């Protein structure tokens, strides 16, 4: 768990640093950073999709996942519930919900953040997690400079996410197939890109409503295993 603890700490440190730096940044500079985060989210999302889509054994699964997951999320109204919850804690920053959703996706949905806890649990290798921590340190500072100290709330989410993967891997071993990780990475990349569109005010995709899409590939592989045994 050392790698996860370090990764969580870097988000706390980065968010705190970004919050205090923000006070000395002019509005026009904050706007530039805001735009930069939107463009970075687009780039990271498209990169994840382009890297993993050619490896996909089920090229239409991500479409089905987004459709079904988006429908479930909309019915539950995850986006609306999350924004109302955040507004109770930070009525002065209406963009915090958008910042948190973007930050959580950037921190949690990626090869480093998923494979890292698995390698840590299996081989006590924290290389991926330390690398991810370095990236998150910079990202959290920029996000906090844009959205405020509330971005620190993403830290416990990351801890629970990576901690769950670590504990699960410790209990059952390396049973997560590469094909599943490929499909999750494709969907995750699209969600990160969707966050970028929202930051740039091009299109509010209500990314949080699409979060259940990440679970659809998991259920697909579970069903495939029990039905076909593979």
pLDDT, tens only, 183-221: 988 998 898 888 888 878 898 888 889 989 988 998 999
The tokens for 135 are 């990236």
| Chain position carrying tokens 């930069």 | 36
Mean pLDDT, rounded, of the chain: 86
pLDDT classification of 21: cutoffs 50, 70, 90 = confident
| Chain position carrying tokens 């930050």 | 103
Give the chain's domain count.
1
CA–CA separation, 202 and 116 (whole Å): 33
Q: Tell me which residue range forms the domain holding 147.
A: 2-228
CA–CA separation, 93 and 87 (whole Å): 8
Q: What's the gap between Cα 8 and its chain centre?
A: 14
pLDDT above 70 (res 168):
yes
Say what the pTM is: 0.76
* 3-class state of residue 23 by DSSP: coil
* 3-class state of residue 79 by DSSP: helix
pLDDT number for residue 9: 97
Helix H segments across the chain? Answer: 2-22, 27-52, 61-76, 78-89, 96-108, 111-123, 127-147, 154-172, 178-199, 216-228
Closest listed residue to residue 185, CA positions, set 3, 56, 40? 56
pLDDT tens profile 47-103 = 889 988 999 999 899 999 999 999 999 999 988 888 787 767 655 555 788 888 888
Average pLDDT rounded to a whole number, residues 147-173: 90
**DSSP code of 156?**
H
pLDDT tens profile 6-15 = 999 999 999 9
CA–CA separation, 67 and 156 (whole Å): 29
CA atoms within 13 A on the CB side of 156: 2
């Amino acid at each position: 768990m050392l790698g996860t603890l370090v990764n969580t700490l870097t988000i706390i440190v980065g968010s705190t640093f970004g919050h205090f730096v923000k006070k000395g940044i002019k509005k026009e500079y904050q706007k530039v950073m805001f735009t930069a985060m939107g463009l970075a989210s687009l780039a990271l999302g498209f990169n994840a999709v382009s890297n993993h889509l050619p490896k996909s054994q089920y090229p239409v699964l991500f479409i089905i996942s987004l459709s079904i997951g988006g429908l479930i999320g909309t019915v539950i109204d995850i986006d609306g519930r999350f924004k109302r919850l955040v507004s109770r804690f930070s009525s002065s920053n209406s963009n915090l919900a958008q910042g948190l959703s973007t930050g959580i996706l950037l921190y949690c949905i990626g090869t480093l953040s998923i494979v890292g806890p698995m390698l840590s649990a299996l081989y006590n290798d924290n290389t991926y997690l330390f690398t991810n921590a370095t990236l998150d340190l910079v990202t959290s500072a920029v996000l906090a400079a844009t959205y405020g100290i509330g971005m620190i709330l993403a830290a416990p989410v990351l801890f629970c996410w990576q901690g769950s993967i670590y504990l699960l891997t410790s209990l059952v071993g390396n049973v997560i197939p590469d094909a599943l990780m490929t499909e999750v990475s494709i969907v995750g990349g699209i969600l990160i890109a969707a966050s970028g569109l929202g930051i740039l005010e091009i299109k509010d995709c209500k990314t949080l409503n699409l979060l259940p899409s990440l679970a659809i590939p998991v259920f697909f592989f579970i069903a495939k295993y029990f039905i076909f045994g593979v």
